[in-house]
Amino acid sequence: MSSADRTYDVVVLGAGPTGENLADVVVRGGLSAVLVEEHLVGGECSYYACMPSKALLRGTEALAAARTVQGAAAAVTGEQDVAATLARRDSFTHDWDDTGQVDWVAGAGIDLVRGTARLDGERAVVVTTPDGGRVRLTARHAVAVCTGSEPAVPPVAGLDGVQPWTPREATGAKEAPRRLLVVGGGYVGCELSFAWHALGSRVTLLQRGGRLLPDAEPQAGDAVLASLRDRGVDVRLDADVTAARREDDEVVLTVGGEEVRGDEVLVATGRQARTTAIGADTVGLEPGRYLDVDDTLRVRGLPWLYGAGDVNGRRLLTHMGKYQARQAGAAIVARARGEEVSGADWSPHTATADRAATPAVVFTDPQVASVGLTSAQAREAGLPHRVVEYPIGSVAGAALLADGYEGTAVAVVDPGREVLLGVTFVGPAVAELLHAATIAVVGEVPISRLWHAVPAYPTVSEVWLRLLETWRG
Amino acid sequence: MSSADRTYDVVVLGAGPTGENLADVVVRGGLSAVLVEEHLVGGECSYYACMPSKALLRGTEALAAARTVQGAAAAVTGEQDVAATLARRDSFTHDWDDTGQVDWVAGAGIDLVRGTARLDGERAVVVTTPDGGRVRLTARHAVAVCTGSEPAVPPVAGLDGVQPWTPREATGAKEAPRRLLVVGGGYVGCELSFAWHALGSRVTLLQRGGRLLPDAEPQAGDAVLASLRDRGVDVRLDADVTAARREDDEVVLTVGGEEVRGDEVLVATGRQARTTAIGADTVGLEPGRYLDVDDTLRVRGLPWLYGAGDVNGRRLLTHMGKYQARQAGAAIVARARGEEVSGADWSPHTATADRAATPAVVFTDPQVASVGLTSAQAREAGLPHRVVEYPIGSVAGAALLADGYEGTAVAVVDPGREVLLGVTFVGPAVAELLHAATIAVVGEVPISRLWHAVPAYPTVSEVWLRLLETWRG
C-alpha cells in the first residue's frame, strides 16, 4: 500500500482508444499526460468488440466470396476450421494481454497508472491502485474522461439471473454454443448472429421492433434479415422478451407467451455511460449519465473537464471516439497555450463529423456501410432532400466480383446545395466503398464536381457514376 | 447493295463505350444521333479487354484472399476449375455476341449503321455496309470520332510473322497455352501474366525497361515484380526482344543474344490511334495520328469535329473515354443550342480529370490503384510537392483482411495549398479504396477538412488516418 501525489498537465481516465489518442495528442502538443486504467490498456474495442468480432466474421466472408465466383468455387471443397478461426481471433486480442499497448503508451511519453479513478473535485483525481494504494493526480489544465460505455441489460424479469452474455463474452467465447439466443437486432446482435451461425451454433435472433438495424436505411435491415433467414438463422421480429430463467444448463426466454430455449443468451440491446463510479458527484454531475459536452468535447459548465468517446453519448463508435480524442486534444493544447479555440464547424478543435458525417460499417453479409444522414433522419430534421437509389449488382464491377451480386446504394441529396447529406451501401464487400462517401459528405463536394470524379472501370465504385446518372434523371 | 443519304444532328464513328455514351448524352439533350460500327457494338473493353481480363483474374484473387485467412484457408482444399473460369469469362463477353448492346442502343433512341465509316469532308461520313452498300451520313452539328485505338506491334524482325497474340487473343483464348511469352511489362502484360500463370501456363514476362509498371509509383512495379517472381513467373527486366521466328509450333524470341521459347507470344507494348482508315485526309488531318483536341474534346481547327476516347491519346482507359464522352456530349448539346460553353477546368463541358485526376487500377496481386500525379510526374512538372508513405499492413483492418497483409499507400501532397495531387495504393484488394482518393483529388478537399473524414474502424480505409498522421509528422 502506497500513497503519492502527482501533477500533470492532463489527466485521462480510461486507456481505451479514445484515452490513448487524447493523451498522445496532448503529449505531442508539449503537455504532460497520465492515463489511468483499471482493466486492459487498449480498451473494449481491441479486446472485446470490433477486433474480435470482425476476426470471427472474416473467414466466413472470404469463403463466401470465393464460393460466389464460378471456377473458384470448385476449390472451396472443405469447411472452415473453427478452432483455427478462434485462434486467429485470439491472436488479434493478444490473448487479452495488453503488453503491446502498455509499451506503446510508454513509447509515446505518456505515464500510466493502473487502478480505479474517481474525480475528487476540480482538476483532481484519486486512483485506488490494485495493491490498495492511493495516488492523487492533479491536472494543471484538463481532466479528460474517456471511460466509455458498458452494456445495458434491459429490465426483464430474471435476465440478470441467467448470466447472459454481453458482447464481451460473445466475442471471446472459446467455442460455439450449440444453441445461441441473441436479444437485440442492432449491429452487434446481427454481426454476432452471423458469426456464431457460421461457426456452428443454431442461432435465434430476437428483435423487439419490426426491423433489424432500425437506425439504418430500411434496405439494410431488409437485406440482412433475408440473408440471416436464408442461411437458417431463426429471426423473430416484434419479439418482446418478458422473462428469463435457467433450467439446468438451458436458458429459457419468454417471448410473447412462447418459450424459446438455448444454451447461451447474448443480450445486445444497448449501452450506457460508464460514469457511475468516477466520482461525478464530486464535481456536481449526476453519476450514470452521459457527459454533456460542447463541440470541443468540454463538459458544459466545467471548463477543465472533457468527455470524449462513448462516455458523452454522441456516437458510440471506436473511430468516432478517436476522432473526438484528436479534436479534444487539440482544443486542450490550444487552450493551455492561450491560443484561440474555434468552435466553428470543421475547425481543428471541434467534433463536427459526429453530428454530420459519422461513418459506420456493419460486417454482416451483406455488409452495411453508411455515413451521414439517412433519409429518415433528413426527414425528421425537416431538411429538404431527395433520395437516389441504385442496385449495385447492375454495375459491371460487382458482377465481376461475385456471381449474382445483390446490393443497393442509397444517397440522400440536398437538392438546394446539390451536396450529399448521406450515403448507404448494402451488399457484399461494400465496407471499403464507404470512405469515398465520407470524403464527399465531409468535403461538401458539389455534385457538379463529383461528375469529374471518375470511378475506375470495372470496379464496384462505378456505382458512383450510376448514382449521379440516377440523380440527373 | 443499296445507297442512302441521311442527316442527323450528330454522327458518331465507333460504338464502343465512348461512342455509346456520347450518343446517349446528345440524344438525352434532344439531338438525333447515329452510331457507325464495323465490328461489335460495345467495343474493345467489353469483349477483348477490361471485362474478360478481370474475369480471368477474379477467381484467382478470391481464392488467394480465402487462403490468407487462417481458419478459412482450411476450406480451400481444391484447385480452381479452369474450364469454369473460362466459361465465366465467356459469359461476360456474351460469347462475343452484341445483341444486348444493340438492344440498348435502340432503347436509348440512337440509330445504328453497321459498316466501315470514312469522313468525306466537312460534316460528312460515308459508310460502306457489310453488303457492299453505301450510306452517306451528314451531321447538322457534329461528327464525333470514337474509333479508339489498336495494338501497336513493335518493329522487331519477324514478329509479325509469328502471329503474336494481341490483348484480344490473350483475353479470349479458349485454353491456357503451355508456355506463354509476354512482351511488355505495362498493366496489360502484368495482368495477363498473372492470369495465365494462375490458369496453368508457364509464363515468361519480358520487359524492355528496368521496372514493371513504369508509369506508376516505383513501389507498385517493385511489389508486382516480387509477387510474379514469387509465384514462379520468369520476369526478365531490361530484356530487349530483337528477333522472332516460329520453329514448328514454337515461338522463338531473341532476347539479348539468348533465345526464349514459348507456345504463344503476347505483345502488349503499346497502342496506336485507330485513325488510319477514317478518311482523316479528307478533312486535312494526318491518318494514323491521335486527334489533337481541346478540353471540350473538339479537334483543333475543325469546329464540327470531336474526338473522344482513346482516339485522342489523352488517356487510354475505358472510364476516361466514357468521361470524355459525357463532357463532349454536353459541349455538343450546348453549342447546338447556342448556349455558352465554358472551357474552364471542371466545367460541365470540359475534360479536366484526364489531365489532373485519372484513376487507374491494375488488377494484379497485389493490385495497384492510383489517381492523379505520381511523385515523378509532380517532379517533372516542377510542382512543389511532398510525398507521404504508409505501410497498409500496419492498419488493423488490413491485418483482419488477410494474414501477413503487405501493401503501401503513397500520397503526393501540394504543401502550399495542402491538397492531394495524387494517391497510389499497392496491396491486395485496394481497388475499391481508390474512389475516396479520386474524390479528394478532384474535390480539392483540403487536408484540414480530410481530418474530419473519419475512416470506419476496422476497415483498410483507416490508412487515410495514418497518411494524415504521417503528413502531420
Please indicate, yes or no, whether residues A18 and A142 belong to a single structural domain of this protein: yes
Chain B residue numbers with beta carbons less than 8 Å from the beta carbon of A453 are: 353, 357, 435, 438-439, 442-443
Q: A60 pLDDT exceeds 90?
A: yes
Best interface-test mutation with B: which of A58, A432, A472 has the largest number of B CBs within 10 A? A432
Q: Is A77 on the interface with B (CB under 8 A)?
A: yes
Pairs across A and B, CB distance < 8 A: 288
Chain B residue numbers with beta carbons less than 8 Å from the beta carbon of A63 are: 66, 72, 75-76
Please state, as a whole number, how many other Cβ atoms lie within 10 Å of the Cβ of residue B192.
Answer: 27
Q: Do B443 and A439 lie within an 8 Å CB cutoff?
A: yes
Please indicate, yes or no, whether residues B412 and B349 belong to a single structural domain of this protein: no
Q: How high is the pLDDT of residue A473? A: 87
Where a domain ends, among A248, A269, A290? Answer: A269
Where a domain ends, among B296, B322, B353? Answer: B353
User: Would A90 be classed as within a structural domain?
Assistant: no
User: Would A237 be classed as within a structural domain?
Assistant: yes
Q: How high is the pLDDT of residue A46? A: 74
Where a domain ends, among A202, A237, A269? Answer: A269
Please indicate, yes or no, whether residues A283 and A259 belong to a single structural domain of this protein: no
Residue B174 has, within 13 A of its CA and on its CB side, a CA count of 2
pLDDT digits (tens, 9 = 90+) for A254-276: 999 899 999 999 999 999 999 99
Q: Which residues are CB-contacts of B311 (< 8 A; sequence separation ≥ 6)? A: B14, B145, B146, B147, B148, B149, B273, B274, B275, B290, B291
Chain center to CA of A61: 19
Chain A residue numbers with beta carbons less than 8 Å from the beta carbon of B433 are: 432, 435
Chain B residue numbers with beta carbons less than 8 Å from the beta carbon of A88 are: 69-71, 403
Please indicate, yes or no, whether residues A183 and A264 belong to a single structural domain of this protein: yes
The answer to whether residues B332 and B142 touch, using CB atoms and an 8 Å cutoff, is: yes
The residue of chain B nearest to residue A431, with distances taken between CA atoms, is B459
Best interface-test mutation with B: which of A296, A439, A450, A465 has the largest number of B CBs within 10 A? A439
Paired with A419 in beta bridges are A414
Chain B residue numbers with beta carbons less than 8 Å from the beta carbon of A353 are: 452-454
Please indicate, yes or no, whether residues B29 and B130 belong to a single structural domain of this protein: yes
Q: How high is the pLDDT of residue A2? A: 63
Q: How high is the pLDDT of residue B2? A: 63
Structural domain span for residue A199: 160-269
For chain A, positions 323-382, list CB contacts with chain B under 8 A: 323, 326, 346, 348, 352-353, 357-361, 369
Please indicate, yes or no, whether residues B448 and B372 belong to a single structural domain of this protein: yes
Q: A157 pLDDT exceeds 80?
A: yes
Q: Which three cell numbers stand for residue A419?
A: 451536396
Q: Is A433 on the interface with B (CB under 8 A)?
A: yes
Q: Do B460 and A399 lie within an 8 Å CB cutoff?
A: no
For chain A, positions 281-300, list CB contacts with chain B under 8 A: none
User: Would B359 be classed as within a structural domain?
Assistant: no
Question: Of A443, A375, A442, which Cα lies nearest the Cα of A415?
Answer: A375
Please indicate, yes or no, whether residues B265 and B277 belong to a single structural domain of this protein: no
Query: What DSSP element (H or E) covers B225?
Result: helix B218-230
Q: Do B461 and A357 lie within an 8 Å CB cutoff?
A: no
For chain A, positions 124-183, list CB contacts with chain B under 8 A: none
B310 is in an annotated binding site: yes
The answer to whether residues A305 and A111 touch, using CB atoms and an 8 Å cutoff, is: no
Q: Do A92 and B358 lie within an 8 Å CB cutoff?
A: no
Question: Of B171, B158, B219, B167, which Cα lies nearest the Cα of B369?
Answer: B219
B184 is in an annotated binding site: yes
Alpha-carbon distances of B308 from B146, B338, B409, B436, rounded to whole Å:
5, 21, 32, 26
The shortest CB-CB distance from A70 to any of B84, B357, B452 is to B84
User: Would A86 be classed as within a structural domain?
Assistant: no
pLDDT digits (tens, 9 = 90+) for A285-295: 999 999 999 99
Q: Is B84 on the interface with A (CB under 8 A)?
A: yes
Q: A48 pLDDT exceeds 80?
A: no
Chain A residue numbers with beta carbons less than 8 Å from the beta carbon of B64 are: none
Residues in chain B predicted with pLDDT less than 70, given as ranges, are 1-2, 45
Please indicate, yes or no, whether residues A388 and A439 belong to a single structural domain of this protein: yes
Task: Determine the distance in angstroms separating the CA of A463 from the nearest CA of chain B, rounded to an integer.
Answer: 11
pLDDT digits (tens, 9 = 90+) for A61-87: 999 999 999 999 999 999 999 999 999
pLDDT digits (tens, 9 = 90+) for B392-414: 999 999 999 999 999 999 999 99
Please indicate, yes or no, whether residues A246 and A317 belong to a single structural domain of this protein: no
Please indicate, yes or no, whether residues B186 and B317 belong to a single structural domain of this protein: no
Q: How high is the pLDDT of residue B43? A: 77
User: Would A65 be classed as within a structural domain?
Assistant: no
User: Would B170 be classed as within a structural domain?
Assistant: yes
pLDDT digits (tens, 9 = 90+) for A334-354: 999 999 999 999 999 999 999
User: Would A70 be classed as within a structural domain?
Assistant: no
pLDDT digits (tens, 9 = 90+) for B157-211: 999 999 999 999 999 999 999 999 999 999 999 999 999 999 999 999 999 999 9
Best interface-test mutation with B: which of A355, A461, A468, A471 has the largest number of B CBs within 10 A? A461
Question: Of A279, A419, A305, A430, which Cα lies nearest the Cα of A367?
Answer: A430
B191 is in an annotated binding site: yes
ipTM of the complex: 0.97
User: Would A84 be classed as within a structural domain?
Assistant: no
Instruction: Tell me which of A5-9, A428-432, B90-94 is least confident.
Output: B90-94
Please indicate, yes or no, whether residues B7 and B131 belong to a single structural domain of this protein: yes
Q: Is B96 on the interface with A (CB under 8 A)?
A: no
CATH number (domain holding residue A432): 3.30.390.30
| Average pLDDT of the residues in A229-235 | 98
* Count of structural domains within chain A: 3
Please indicate, yes or no, whether residues A379 and A461 belong to a single structural domain of this protein: yes
B109 is in an annotated binding site: no
Q: A447 pLDDT exceeds 70?
A: yes
CATH number (domain holding residue B184): 3.50.50.60
